[in-house]
Amino acid sequence: MKIAQNGLAYFAHETAVIDEGATIGPGSRVWHWAHVSAEAQIGSDCSLGQNVFIGRVKIGNNVKIQNNVSVYDGVVLEDDVFCGPSMVFTNVINPRSHIVRKHEYRPTLVKRGATIGANAVILCGHTIGSFAMIGAGAVVTRDVPSFALMVGNPARRVGWICQCGIRLEAVEGSVQCGSCGSEYEVAHGECHAAKAADESTHKKADHGIH
């Protein structure tokens, strides 16, 4: 099923529920039994997998949300974010069934290009930096620096990762990605891009995981 919205088309499976008032950009795909809430803002070329729930949130362009993920109110996903199957966002730090805490939602920001692995948990109120990679099953309890590779419970940084998704072999100083050639500077617990490879190089380094 193709639906025209403001003259721009996106795809929605016949079982998907899209509430009136939601905004979905051109080229996006909404798959089986997904639910997009009113006031949700979804960019272009996004993919929402089976059984995905989207609350009143803002999602950038080219975001991939795999099966069984709920993106609750208070979450912002920038461009090129990848959410692996069954990963979990939260928006209240101390939920109780008998106490309404909708006014206490803590925002979560996932910056451009970050990857969150399958079954990872992101506790609310934190920022995941650009191109960070959260390993499968990790539990994030604090802010994550850009380009950080995080694993475990609670998640800890075990290294740095290139924006193409390959681990960087560096502790401090200058480092170049052995796959795509991007250059980085690592110092004082932070990693910054010094020179990025061009887009065509990154596409060649892409291993087809979307």
- Mean pLDDT over 15-33 rounds to 96
Identify residue 8 by its one-letter amino acid code.
L
Residues 156-200: pLDDT tens digits? 999 999 999 999 987 789 999 999 999 999 999 999 998 766 654
Could you tell me if 160 and 190 lie in one domain?
A: no
pLDDT at position 199 is: 53
How far apart are the C-alpha atoms of 15 and 50, rounded to whole Å?
A: 10
Could you tell me if 164 and 176 lie in one domain?
A: no
Could you tell me if 173 and 163 lie in one domain?
A: no
Torsion (CA) 87, 93, 94, 100 in degrees, nearest 10: -90
Question: In what order do the strands lie in the sheet containing 47-48?
Answer: 2-5, 8-12, 29-30, 47-48, 64-65, 82-83, 115-116, 133-134, 148-151, 156-161, 167-168
How far apart are the C-alpha atoms of 78 and 100, rounded to whole Å?
A: 29
> Cα–chain-centroid distance for residue 62?
10
Q: Which of 153, 168, 183 is the last residue of a domain?
A: 168
Q: Judge if the upstream peptide bond of residue 154 is cis by omega within 30 degrees of 0.
A: yes
pLDDT at position 48 is: 98
Give backbone dihedrals phi and psi of 75, rounded to 5 degrees, phi first: -95, 135
How far apart are the C-alpha atoms of 164 and 202, rounded to whole Å?
A: 6
Could you tell me if 27 and 66 lie in one domain?
A: yes
Could you tell me if 91 and 102 lie in one domain?
A: yes
- Mean pLDDT over 139-160 rounds to 98
Could you tell me if 29 and 56 lie in one domain?
A: yes
- Mean pLDDT over 71-94 rounds to 97
Could you tell me if 177 and 162 lie in one domain?
A: no
Residue 5 banded pLDDT, cuts 50, 70, 90? low
Instruction: Name the pTM for this structure.
Output: 0.90
Could you tell me if 125 and 164 lie in one domain?
A: yes
Structure-token pair, residue 205: 């380094």
Decide which of 2 and 119 is more confident: 119
Q: Domain limits at 188?
A: 169-210
How far apart are the C-alpha atoms of 178 and 198, rounded to whole Å?
A: 15
Calculate Rg over the CA atoms of the chain. Answer: 18
The DSSP 8-state label assigned to residue 165 in this structure reads: S
Could you tell me if 193 and 146 lie in one domain?
A: no
- Mean pLDDT over 7-12 rounds to 83
Alpha helices (H) along the chain: 199-205
Residue 8 banded pLDDT, cuts 50, 70, 90? low
Helix (H) or strand (E) holding 163: none
Could you tell me if 55 and 98 lie in one domain?
A: yes
pLDDT at position 6 is: 60
Could you tell me if 197 and 158 lie in one domain?
A: no
Q: Which of 137, 152, 168 is the last residue of a domain?
A: 168
pLDDT at position 76 is: 98
CATH number at residue 134: 2.160.10.10
